[in-house]
Each structure stands twice: as structure tokens, then as C-alpha cells.
Amino acid sequence: MARILVTGSSTGLGLMAGALLAGRGHRVTLHARDAARAEDARRALPQAEAVIAGDLARLAGARAVAEQANRLGRFDAIIHNAGIGYGDGRLTRTPEGLPEIFAVNVLAPYVMTALIERPKRLVYLSSGMHRGASLDLDDLGWRQRRWSAGGAYGESKLLDVLLAFALARRWPDVFSNAVDPGWVATRMGGANAPDSAEDGRATQAWLAVSEDKAAKVSGKYFHHLRERAPDAKALSVALQDRLIAQCEKLSGVALPA
């Protein structure tokens, strides 16, 4: 059985995916933003092997999660599920001065990827909203552009696909893929979301552990267990490399060769 870390899993799709994997006998570690949510996660999924805590809106929090994960030993797969939506549309900045949407959705997965002992599989949660998203790698902090919460969210999800594909190229011994889980009725998705929870959690769990030939691929984008075409910008090697360089500059954390 595999050992899997699922970030952002005290509730929502992360918890659902963790429950699916644990129910199939895999050893699942959950992640929550703080100690109180960690206790909620333990109660929600008592069969979880461990729960770690750290606020991914802060670089120190992402580093802390990586340190805790490494103390637990090597994982077979990491599902980078943690993410935030655009809420009421206001721009909220982290202590480092970055938009929270970018910090949580993109920079934290990069930092954890760089610092956690390399697993066999990496899964990054994206969204159908990555298609057609504007992209400005010179202004990831949204200092030059007029703020758009929806635009920032779509951009962050495009950056997640770029990150997954960059890792697939740089680490050929790792299966690294991106997933659109669909619009599911979670705290972020809202009560009127049309997709089912089962569909929403299935693909990332499948990519994390399945021995199916279709799951043992890298540099692909999936929706509901099927490979889909991503936005063409996600295929650009130049953009992938620029994202890695910008994340390294903003975080001070280098991606291992």
C-alpha cells in the first residue's frame, strides 16, 4: 500500500480524496492550516496515519509543512490539493507582500515540492478556469496590473499546470500531472456546484496510486479520469522555466536538480 500526503485536507476535496485512499488501505497523511483544523481532520478521518499543520499563505508555514512531512519519512505520492478561491474579490496580501491566491495556490506547492523528499508521484490541483487565463510572469505580485480576483485565480491555476509540467520535464523519475477536479459542492465551490464529489476526488486519488498504464504517465492534464488538452500556454517550456525561476526568486528556495 502507498503512503500519500494530501495538502489542504481538513475539509473539502482534500479530505474526500484522503478518505477514498484510506478506505482502500493506503496510508494517508492529512494537512490542515492550523492546530484546530488538524483536530477537525483527525476526527473526520481517524484512520489517517498522521495530520500535519501549517499555514500555506506564509513561506514559514510552507517550510514547516515540508519539515514535518520529511520527519514522517518518504511519501510515495503527494497530492497538492490546498488552494483558495477568490471569495469576495478583495486583494489580500501575505506577510511577504504577495497575493494570497498566488501564495497558497502556486508558491506553497513549489516550496513544498522543492523541500519534501522526492516522491514517486506528484499531483497538482488545477481548474478548468486555467484555460484562457491571462499570464504575467513579471507581475506575479499584482503590483503593476489592476487587481482582478477571478483573473488571479485563473492565472494561479494555469501556473499550477505549468508547475506540474515543469516537474515532469525536470524529474523524469517522477510522474507529475495536473488535475481539474471539476466544480464540486465544497466550501470553496459552493452549494450549487454541479459536479459530484465522487467525480471530484477520483482522478487525483487514481493518479496517486493506480498501476493502470493510463495513470503512470507524466506531464499530462486530467479531468474525471481522462486526459484532456490543457491551455496551450501550459506546454511552453520557456514559460515553465520562467515560472520556476520566479518561484525560486520569490521564495528563496531552489528546486533540486
* Cell numbers placing 256: 533540486
The per-residue pLDDT for 164 is: 98
Mean pLDDT for 38-63 is: 98
Residue at 136 is within a domain = yes
Does 15 have pLDDT greater than 80?
yes
Q: Which of 86, 110, 124, 157 is catalytic?
A: 157
Residue at 142 is within a domain = yes
Residue at 80 is within a domain = yes
Does 18 have pLDDT greater than 80?
yes
The per-residue pLDDT for 190 is: 47
User: How far, in Å, CA of 223 to CA of 221, rounded?
Assistant: 7
Q: Which of 153, 220, 221, 233 is catalytic?
A: 153
Instruction: Say what percent of the chain tops pLDDT 90.
Output: 91
* DSSP symbols for 139-194: -TT-SSSPP-HHHHHHHHHHHHHHHHHHHHHH-TTSEEEEEE---BSSTTT-TT--
What range defines the domain where residue 206 resides?
A: 3-251
Does 16 have pLDDT greater than 50?
yes
Residue at 257 is within a domain = no
Mean pLDDT for 134-151 is: 98
Residue at 212 is within a domain = yes
Whether 124 is catalytic is no
User: How far, in Å, CA of 138 to CA of 229, rounded?
Assistant: 26
Domain count, the chain: 1
Does 184 have pLDDT greater than 60?
no
Does 188 have pLDDT greater than 90?
no
User: How far, in Å, CA of 147 to CA of 229, rounded?
Assistant: 28
The per-residue pLDDT for 198 is: 65
Residue at 190 is within a domain = yes
User: How far, in Å, CA of 15 to CA of 8, rounded?
Assistant: 8
Band of pLDDT at residue 148, cut at 50, 70 and 90:
very high
The per-residue pLDDT for 200 is: 75
Instruction: Say what percent of the chain tops pLDDT 70.
Output: 93
Band of pLDDT at residue 196, cut at 50, 70 and 90:
low
7: domain CATH number is 3.40.50.720
Taking only the tens place, the pLDDT of each residue in 112-132 is 999 999 999 999 999 999 999
Does 195 have pLDDT greater than 60?
no
Residue at 256 is within a domain = no
Band of pLDDT at residue 87, cut at 50, 70 and 90:
confident
Whether 216 is catalytic is no
Taking only the tens place, the pLDDT of each residue in 227-245 is 999 999 999 999 999 999 9
Residues across the chain: 257
Q: Which phi-psi region, left, alpha or beta, contains residue 221 (left: φ > 0; alpha: ψ -120 to 50)?
A: beta
The per-residue pLDDT for 201 is: 87
Residue at 242 is within a domain = yes
